[in-house]
Amino acid sequence: MRLLGNILWLILGGLFLSLGWAIVGLVLCVTIIGIPLGIQAFKMAELTLTPFGKTVVYRGGVGSTLANIVWLVLVGVWMALGYVGAGLLNCVTIIGIPFGIQSFKMAKLALWPFGADIVSL
């Protein structure tokens, strides 16, 4: 089921979203100040490429929490709202519910990315 879900996800736009995140990560890594943000964009690209069969695990400490608060204020809320909106639209139909669940998983990572690891189930 994971393979089928990931293939459908890639065909229906996951590949383009993942490429977009990778490009954002590369642009952010041009400056030294942007490297931590670029790393978070690469995490989003990884999860967006094949979200089925993966989960987000938080292992951060005080530094990650402080960075997440800054991220939350600057971009996290808007990104998470976008993913929640996409998830709600996907959940309108029974067929779209698994894709909506993946969008909610990405909203969680978009809201609080520092100290998060993406692990396979």
The letter for the amino acid at 80 is A
pTM: 0.86
Residues with Cβ within 8 Å of 26's Cβ and at least 6 positions away in sequence, in order, are 38
Cross-strand pairs, 58:
116
Distance of CA 55 to the CA centre of its chain: 11
Residues with Cβ within 8 Å of 53's Cβ and at least 6 positions away in sequence, in order, are 2, 5, 6, 120, 121
Closest CA to 108 of 51, 66, 33: 51
Phi/psi at 117 (nearest 5 deg)?
A: -120, 145
Tens of pLDDT, residue by residue, the chain (121 residues): 899 999 999 998 889 999 999 999 999 999 999 999 999 999 999 999 999 999 999 988 898 999 999 899 988 899 999 999 999 999 999 999 999 999 999 999 999 999 999 999 8
No. of helices (H) and no. of strands (E), the chain: 6, 2
